[in-house]
Structure 1
């Protein structure tokens, strides 16, 4: 969900919230560009998924729950937490990235918020091969990079073609956009600036998501698109995320979620089946979609249940 603005507790310094999977992943695999791995899957028509996790949420990240390994792990960037550290190596997102790297490539988020050229150069050390560029919820008048396209262009200039740059897409439009047409133009500008991959913001509306992908192709966006999937584990969680992202389920679906809000088990089972239904629709849409990214909020059980049914 590209890091909604919220105060999280501090990240434990020992990194013990991560339980790595018992997987034999070659060390060189973690250094590959994610877009190349995704393109291989698309060419072979093989299904895949990625997960987004956050260094600010303290649930145990047990990769052993994920019987089918994620193709990549995306790590949320909380600017106020990461840049507050004396050394970037001590930043919560960087430490978490080091912990999960043995399980495969890491997609490190970076936001435009108060980012300077010097900070960017420090961030883009040779070991960083995949980045997710987001504008961020907050924008200061004097900050150097005001739009994601500006940051994409700068990263491409610094690292040329030896880095994978991902950007966000908004199936229902960015909350600040005046129209869907304008929002698609902004997305195209990010692609033209050098983006390799689009990961969409969450949506509960599969028709809107499919139409968004078609619209991208119509305006000449040819890079891979990976739909973002959020599976709420509770009514409170759904309300929180909807408020932060300004994305709400369609009215009929909203009512169905609300009717289950007092039964946690029934709510989660319904949420999982809704996600399975959406993913099946995407895979069967003949739009070249073979993978998704789950916005986990560090909760893997729903992902495990879905992967068992769709992969």
Structure 2
């Protein structure tokens, strides 16, 4: 087992959809638990499509004493009564942290659920459960795909923060300057919550390119061509991707970021390789 790292550490999982995926996640969380993370988080599917699976995954992970588990909850989580029932269920299992999101609108749907924006969901949680839940939110250093400008992005982020949150986690990025510039702009706009960088280790070129497309993440042209040059050589891509991710995280840690949140895609190896290098 690793010694506890000198920086904040957390991991995101998604609810497994098959027995095989459940076995993979069980192994992954066991390995990552040994790195002494501050918390695990569990995603919530587009349109609330994994509502039940998210709760089952969260409660399964919570069977262990550490780390804490933070379920994602989106505006697509149903009616206010549905959301209250879910939050009460989490409280019954000792879960008092929520990652509140607007959520992705499934293809073909013109709007989100009862709550239109994350700040409305956050306000509802605090109203119905005063002084009960710690709220985490997401943010986009390179601007949400639906935002028309950086100013708009900051306006909506500040609205969420003012609703009452404890921390924010960024969408994944490859350019550390985008993160640093975003944090500076937040401070100048009176946004003072800790902003943890979200990092996705590179293991597969086609997958990471696709994720960049729908998350609004900018992949530098040189990185795009470098990954493309490896063709179908997965081992070479993974080796380069691990080295690149280590250097990216080192740049962030040198500037005393509040921690690093890894988007694991329910796999342990790439993230473990990075964390071990950073903790060595």
Q: Which interval holds the TM-score relative to the shorter structure? A: 0.7 to 0.9
Partners of 1:309 and 1:60 in 2: CA distance? 23
Corresponding residue number in structure 2 for 1:52: 12
Corresponding residue number in structure 2 for 1:294: 262
TM-score (norm: length of structure 2): 0.86
Q: Name the count of aligned residue pairs.
A: 261
Q: 1:74 aligns with which of 15, 29, 41?
A: 41
Contact 1:46 1:290 in 2 (8 A): no
Is 1:201 the counterpart of 2:171? The answer is yes
Corresponding residue number in structure 1 for 2:59: 98
Q: 1:131 aligns with which of 98, 103, 108?
A: 98
Which ranges of structure 2 fall in alignment gaps of 5 or more residues?
A: none
Is 1:152 the counterpart of 2:122? The answer is yes
Deviates more, 1:301-310 or 1:205-214: 205-214
CA RMSD for the aligned pairs?
Answer: 2.1
Contact 1:114 1:140 in 2 (8 A): no
Structure 1 stretches of 4+ with a deviation exceeding 2 A read: 63-67, 79-83, 139-143
Give the secondary structure class of the aligned counterpart of 1:106: strand
The verdict on how the C-alpha distance between 1:153 and 1:207 changes in structure 2, with shifts beyond 3 A counting, is: same
Contact 1:54 1:298 in 2 (8 A): yes
**Cα offset, 1:80, TM superposition:** 4.0
Contact 2:98 2:134 in 1 (8 A): yes
Contact 2:73 2:98 in 1 (8 A): yes
TM-score (norm: length of structure 1): 0.78
Corresponding residue number in structure 2 for 1:14: none
Which ranges of structure 1 fall in alignment gaps of 5 or more residues?
A: 1-21, 24-40, 84-90
The verdict on how the C-alpha distance between 1:280 and 1:105 changes in structure 2, with shifts beyond 3 A counting, is: same
